[in-house]
Structure 1
Amino acid sequence: MALPKLNIIVAACKGNGIGNQGRLPWFLPAEMRYFREVTQERREELLNTCERNAVIMGRKTYESIPDRFKPLKNRWNLIVSNTLTQDDFKEHSTDQIVVVKSFSEALERIAKNGKIDKTWVIGGNGIYQEAMKLPLIEYIYFTRIDAEFACDVFFPEIDNNCFEKIRESEEHNENNLNYRFLIYKRKSEK
């Protein structure tokens, strides 16, 4: 059973801060639309199939999502938690939400599913750190917010020996914050 290739998506301020007290410290609706579009986008040849994308997140990340957006639609939500169980989500089918005990169990479930196009790692800090240690990461979609915020969780540094920046958007401004969308790709082994 081959483990899936992974993509990471993250928004971070200066210093790589990604959250504070279980919440995003900024409000950027256009950036959230970008997150939704990117994590739902599938390969064109799969648009008329039942295949979809998976998102892997920790419990705190899931809890930080506003209720009206839970579970993340059109994506298979895998929640890594030692405290939640599948019984906590009785109102949702296992086609929507699956609770797993570890990141590696999430990867195994996705590999067994057989109907997943892209797999996205969406946070938080511990999940990002675990994912970044694996050679399975292909792309990192990184929103760089050009401001400082008080944060208590951080995204790991991107290793320039392993990843190269392949795209950088023009600067966007929303709610008096400037930000750019960056994409990093894993360098091929030589």
Structure 2
Amino acid sequence: MNPNGNPAPLAQARRRDSIDKRLRVLTAIECLERDDAPITHTAVARTAGVSTWLTYAEGVREHIHAAQTRQNARPATSRLPGPSTSAGLRTDLELARQEITTLREERDRLRTAMSHHLGQQLDALSSQLLTTRIDELTQHNHQLTAQLQHTTTENTTLHTRVTQLEDDLAAARTSLRRMIRDENLNQ
């Protein structure tokens, strides 16, 4: 109910929704018939995007049954595409095998061509470019080695300094304790 207590707008919205769903069901039946797909309550509900319950409702169920009857009245051969004999199936299987063989050969040719192309691209790189790049990497390596050595030396120096400061701190604490003890004894 809306705030004014009038249920009419809600009922109208429900009616519109119901009509919309029923139209979608009829459209789904037409699509399934046109595509020559099996017409079942579940298939219609899935295609229309509605619940299966609606497909069994009065006024919808009759359309589904009529479409099923029309579909069953058609000759069975019109619903089965392709060959229906075992000889036809064997022929299709052999054609599929030949096509697979052809596709595999084409794939192998393309792989070989791609490998040759990549090889040519690698050969096209100038040895001068490669030499320059190696020199750059060697120089960078030397810089990093020097930086590592400097950092290691600095770390060792700082570690030694920290050890000395800790020793000085321990000595200062010991001295301070003695002074406090001596001062307390004198008083």
Normalising by the smaller structure, the TM-score range is under 0.3
Which has the greater radius of gyration?
2
> Larger % of helix: which?
2
More contact order relative to length (CA 8 Å, sep ≥ 6): 1
